[in-house]
Copies of this chain bind each other. A is one copy, B any other.
């Protein structure tokens, strides 16, 4: 029985109750959303230490942090430290995208510590184990079954990239930039066969239903640069993803849809609305989108800007991007930067959408600012340690008394401090 099965029978599981509580929304709304497939709660029955997390347009915007090694880089220890940093700074879900050696044991170690839903892209392990030339159905299903049994909460499956879409994508400036998508396209072009995940979709649904694995329908044809955005290839695949959503719903398997990618700002709203229409409002899980191509080193920031607008227009979850995007495998520090950038983006959208309780934190820090309560400001900050460090740095570089308690900062000093002046004026007015 999946969460969707229960919700369909109007049974509020502990997971559904938990989501209602943290989202400050009525239980019935969550029940309805899960039953209709507009909210997912990825939680594999074998992932024992998970804290359930709801993903859907009406809920708070969630963010995902990708970790994982590559064939060239990183080790199990490094991945565990990335996991802890991601969780510490507030990642709502984590994906282990390892493609190098020891994939199974790295995932095992991560699952044991990961209180957030954990996602994977099974094709990576399939290729790492069997090579990129062999996508025999039984091999695909073996890996998916093993991962499901291990406790993976959601899996990206690129089942929407049909053979006929490949030529559309090869017309592009950057072709296919999804790893899974490119591997599948190469195989389909080589063998002339249809997408093996599409062909095995019913069997995949069976496995996912058994363990309540949420399917994240991957966009193998997401655009990799502004010039390629919103093209025929992208939307052809989206149509197929929409069909797959309905097959998932019929099978009572939870599903979400993955989205772009590189998209200029003016096309974000249209992209979000199109997914809602084509995919029956299934939770949209987007990567960025990256709104300019020319800022390598700052792509966490560029993608968070697009992500903010995506969330504002209905995306349910943002996959973070790190400063290393387009340059190399992120390390722990990149994970931190990526998570924080996306926490800010998600929060900005949630505040604008007036989701319950979201602005409380902003009001609290503003009250603390008005009172020069520095400790409270740091406490309410998204990254207290960093805020504290910057203030200390400014104090160290100044002639100001080196203490946090002072009623000004080194920007204005006491004579030019507007907050100080305002507080005085307010006091005078109130004492009249």
Contact = CB atoms under 8 A, between A and B. Distances in A.
Interface of A: 70-74, 99-100, 124, 127, 132, 166-167, 169-170, 173-179, 181-183, 185-186, 189, 224-228, 264-267, 291-298, 301-302, 304-306, 308-309, 312, 323-331, 340-341, 344-345, 347-349, 351-354, 359, 361-367, 369-370, 377-378, 380-383, 386-387, 389-391, 393-395, 397-400, 409-419, 421-426, 428-429
Nearest to A309: B309
A366 B3 CA distance: 42
Given A226-B359, A301-B341, A390-B323, A175 B294 contact: no
A185 B429 CA distance: 12
A358 to B, nearest CB: 9
List 3 A-B pairs, minimum CB-CB distance, nearest first. A328-B394, A175-B422, A225-B366
A353 B341 CA distance: 24
19 contacts: A70-B398, A70-B413, A72-B399, A99-B412, A170-B426, A186-B421, A189-B425, A189-B428, A225-B366, A264-B348, A264-B359, A265-B308, A291-B351, A291-B352, A294-B361, A297-B387, A297-B389, A298-B341, A328-B410
Given A170-B426, A176-B425, A327-B391, 6 more contacts: A99-B412, A99-B413, A174-B369, A186-B425, A298-B386, A323-B390
A292 B348 contact: yes
Contacts of A264: 348, 351-352, 359
A175 B297 contact: no
Given A297-B386, A312-B265, A398-B73, A421 B327 contact: no
Contact of A71 (B362, B386, B413): B413
Contact of A366 (B226, B298, B348, B400): B226
A206 to B, nearest CB: 28
A366 B397 contact: no
A187 B126 CA distance: 73
B292 A347 contact: yes
A292 B344 contact: yes
A301 B344 contact: yes
B175 A293 contact: no
B425 A127 contact: no
B410 A72 contact: yes
A225 B305 contact: no
Nearest to A427: B170
Given A225-B366, A418-B182, A422-B176, A73 B328 contact: no
B415 A132 contact: yes
Contact of A410 (B73, B367, B425): B73
Contacts of A224: 366, 369, 418-419
Nearest to A327: B391
Contacts of A167: 429
B174 A419 contact: yes
A326 B99 CA distance: 42
A196 to B, nearest CB: 16
Contact of A181 (B132, B227, B418, B428): B418
Contacts of A177: 418-419, 422
Contacts of A399: 72-73
A174 B422 contact: yes
Contacts of A409: 326-329
A429 B225 contact: no
